[in-house]
Amino acid sequence: MPDTSKTETPKPKKAASNSKSQRATQPATDVPFPEQGHGGEVHQQAENQSERLTTAQGVTISDNQNTLKAGASGPALLEDFVMREKIFHFDHERIPERVVHARGYGAHGVFECTKAIPELTMAAPFQEVGKTTEVFTRFSTVAGSKGSADLARDVRGFAVKFYTNQGNWDLVGNNMPVFFIQDAMKFPDLVHAVKPEPDTGFPQAQSAHDNFWDFISLTPESMHMVMWTMSDRAIPRSFSTMEGFGVHTFRFINSEGKSTFVKFHWKPKLGLQSKVWNEALKTNGADPDRHRRIMWEEIDTGNAPRWDLAVQTFDQEFADSFDFDVLDPTKLIPEEVIKPEIIGTMTLNRNVDNFFAETEQVAFCTQNVVPGIDFTDDPLLQGRNFSYLDTQIKRLGSPNFTKIPVNRPKGCPVHNYQQDGHMQTSARAGRVNYEPNGWEEGPREHPLEGYVSYRQPIEGDKQRLRPESFADHYSQARQFYISQTEVEQQHIQAALVFELSKCEMLGIRRRIVSHLLNIDQTLAEGVADGLGIEDLPKAAPAAQQPRTDLDPSPALSIVKNGPDSFAGRTLGVLASDGADAATLTALKDAAAAEGVMIKLIAPKIGGFTDSNGDKHPADEKVDGGPSVLFDAVAIILGDATSKAVAAMPPAQDFLKDAFVHCKFIATAAPSARLVEACGLTDKLDDGCVSLTDKASAAAFIKRCADLRYWDREAALWPA
């Protein structure tokens, strides 16, 4: 097998000198204008082009503009193989979208081992410090179609394909460490319930409807996951600011056959960050591709997103002593109980060359493991191992989907007797297509190097039954809720009220409130009040009495685990003609020193001229670059133009939304007119900073290290 231990890490591009993407945005100036033929047809000159347009069979095409016809006016001839092939391929360009995780975005990268753990596992990526393994990672929403928006309230898929020198390993996870159901048998019901209702075909990419909440109200095991999906975890700022989890308990196997349980965690280097709900809704309207665009720009400008891979490892003794069953996918092990140990770092440093060929055709299967990684008896994982392979064959049309480049192993050779079928690209020479054979040729199994499953003793009767250890559905849901800050708890309550307000059936709302009473009395009462339910229902019957003695886990809070600087985020600067040049320069310098990207917004896309007479092209026009697209904002208006800008509704929305969404705001003196027009003169708080000199600009950038000025939210919406 080839040695990939010293794989060269692709060097990221040099950071751009401004916020513009490095993609070509202008046509080449020396391309001649197409010439028109006698019938008005267009012919592209090709004298200086090395590439010739051909059919899929390699035949050079002489005319790609006109169908072969009998006479100038037709009819078209069936023998026109150029037209037929072109249309045929177009008709079949789309493949069935994924049933779930249809809306996705991927990138290439590398994983580097920072702590070798051969004593725990034989898995190739973890054998040597400094060893690098090529990866492809795909992020996704779960419920929406390919055409849905990025910032739907939803779980996010977080799937990583490791191209190891032992074969491909797929770590197929989510941005939440638990799931809605305990057994794969219920997965079709869950997905049917959350997808658009079958009679109307809506809502798209939303769980705010009767079917979903009816299912949840009758499935108590889902309540822990509901707390996560109603929290800000379900509306992350970007892919690069969310965690990833393997969800299930897996096994590490070392060279001696010893098993150690393991849970996988991806920790973003930029810290945890999220949107608020109103901001997410407006972002979807302004830029429905927001998450995709951020990742493209991060990689394209050399600011490659990075995550640490951490593992929680434990033995059977701990598993037996833990308060909950480690095989239950609706449960987690708090980080305060077992601290995740960082063993490597993933860097995504190359955008795809073709979205369809790579992001759309990549196929992840939980069954794809390498020596050193094995499964447990988690019933959801066991079902996924069957389902994922089956669905990829259906979606990609053939068991030969492994021949597609993005799915093909890269770190090791592939030899087998699998033959024929659609998309078969490997033609094995010779007469032998079976094993064992007596011809002394072809690949053979290797007992010493081949994959061997853990020798786990199994006994028991055949039965369809959940273990008693899976019966506690509320205790960890409560633990998650009490681990949140007061602001985050209010967001969970507001999310539940919003979602349940979309349910037409009062009985569904009441059933959910009855479950909430088993989690937190104040939460249940707040949701009931928000829904206008005056008489509280009784608490739902619990299969096992909920515990109230579990300690809060600070690791479960986004606010408590946010970034320690403003680096990697974006400042939106609204400016107009006459903007003070010194203030603008001071802000740019402070942002550059902290690793912050600046986007300039102006009344016109042509930009603005500052007080020194220098022209600044705009990244966005004010009505196309609302403040919801930025992490903090600054307003630097010229004295002579500030009155006109203050009268512009999009400029007022820019400031009002930033204020309501609790963002940090900086203003230069002439911007007071816009502040007054928005009715905020007497409402400015400590999250609003005046720009007066270099020191104030630097202080503002430092202030933005905090995610938001949350005290403002309490003032805007007092309890």
User: Apex CA 225: angle with CA 327 and CA 361, to 5°?
Assistant: 80
Residue 416 has pLDDT above 80, yes or no: yes
The answer to whether residues 373 and 481 belong to one domain is no
**300/289 Cα distance (integer angstroms):** 16
**265/346 Cα distance (integer angstroms):** 12
Give the pLDDT band (50/70/90) at residue 669. Answer: very high
Q: What is the mean pLDDT of the chain?
A: 92
The answer to whether residues 543 and 662 belong to one domain is no
pLDDT in tens, 527-581: 999 999 999 999 999 999 999 999 999 999 999 999 999 999 999 999 999 999 9
pLDDT in tens, 70-89: 988 878 888 988 888 888 78
- Tell me the average pLDDT across 109-135: 98
Any domain includes 82: no
- Tell me the average pLDDT across 600-618: 97
**367/385 Cα distance (integer angstroms):** 5
Residue 419 has pLDDT above 90, yes or no: no
- Domain assignment of residue 694, given as a range: 563-716
- Tell me the average pLDDT across 377-390: 92
Classified as helix, coil or strand, 43 is strand
Percent residues over pLDDT 70 in the chain: 93
In the DSSP assignment, the letter for residue 86 is: H
Residue 636 has pLDDT above 60, yes or no: yes
| Type of residue found at 401 | F
**543/531 Cα distance (integer angstroms):** 27
Instruction: Show Cβ contacts of residue 594 under 8 Å, excluding neighbours closer than 6 positions.
Output: 565, 566, 567, 701, 702
Any domain includes 333: yes
The answer to whether residues 592 and 505 belong to one domain is no
The answer to whether residues 633 and 500 belong to one domain is no
Q: Domain containing 545 — which CATH number?
A: 1.20.1370.20
The answer to whether residues 487 and 579 belong to one domain is no
Choose the catalytic residue: 165, 168, 174, 349: 174
Q: Domain containing 133 — which CATH number?
A: 2.40.180.10
Residue 7 has pLDDT above 80, yes or no: no
The answer to whether residues 611 and 661 belong to one domain is yes
Any domain includes 447: no
Residue 46 has pLDDT above 50, yes or no: no
Residue 665 has pLDDT above 50, yes or no: yes
**508/514 Cα distance (integer angstroms):** 10
**203/198 Cα distance (integer angstroms):** 10
The answer to whether residues 663 and 518 belong to one domain is no
Q: Are 327 and 377 in contact, with CB atoms under 8 Å apart? A: yes
What is residue 13's predicted lDDT score, i.e. its pLDDT? 40
Residue 288 has pLDDT above 80, yes or no: yes
- Structural domain count of the chain: 3
Residue 14 has pLDDT above 60, yes or no: no
Residue 430 has pLDDT above 90, yes or no: no
Give the pLDDT band (50/70/90) at residue 49. Answer: low
**665/636 Cα distance (integer angstroms):** 11
701 closest CA partner among 633, 636, 640: 633
The residue out of 559, 583, 604 marking a domain boundary is: 559
Distances (CA, A) of 400 to 389, 403, 412: 12, 6, 18
Angle between helices 486-501 and 506-516 (to 10 degrees): 160
The residue out of 358, 377, 407 marking a domain boundary is: 407
The residue out of 387, 407, 427 marking a domain boundary is: 407
Angle between helices 277-286 and 290-300 (to 10 degrees): 80
What is residue 417's predicted lDDT score, i.e. its pLDDT? 86
Rg of the chain taking only CA atoms, in angstroms: 29
Give the pLDDT band (50/70/90) at residue 719. Answer: low
The answer to whether residues 246 and 394 belong to one domain is yes
What is residue 8's predicted lDDT score, i.e. its pLDDT? 40
Is residue 92 flagged as an active site residue? Answer: no
Q: Are 348 and 299 in contact, with CB atoms under 8 Å apart? A: yes
Instruction: Show Cβ contacts of residue 379 under 8 Å, excluding neighbours closer than 6 positions.
Output: 182, 183, 184, 185, 327
What is residue 93's predicted lDDT score, i.e. its pLDDT? 82
Neighbours of 58 (CB within 10 A): 7
Any domain includes 442: no
Any domain includes 449: no
- Tell me the average pLDDT across 681-688: 96
pLDDT in tens, 535-550: 999 999 999 999 999 9
- Tell me the average pLDDT across 406-428: 88
The answer to whether residues 544 and 611 belong to one domain is no
272 closest CA partner among 321, 316, 308, 322: 308
Is residue 174 flagged as an active site residue? Answer: yes
Residue 339 has pLDDT above 90, yes or no: yes
The answer to whether residues 704 and 617 belong to one domain is yes
Any domain includes 21: no
Task: Please tell me the number of Cα atoms within 13 Å of 674 on its side-chain side.
Answer: 33
The answer to whether residues 570 and 527 belong to one domain is no
Q: Domain containing 578 — which CATH number?
A: 3.40.50.880
590 closest CA partner among 490, 710, 696: 696
Any domain includes 141: yes
The answer to whether residues 193 and 310 belong to one domain is yes
Percent residues over pLDDT 90 in the chain: 77
pLDDT in tens, 153-204: 999 999 999 999 999 999 999 999 999 999 999 999 999 999 999 999 999 9
Any domain includes 501: yes
Q: Which of the given ranges, 182-186, 347-351, 466-470, has the highest pLDDT on average? A: 347-351
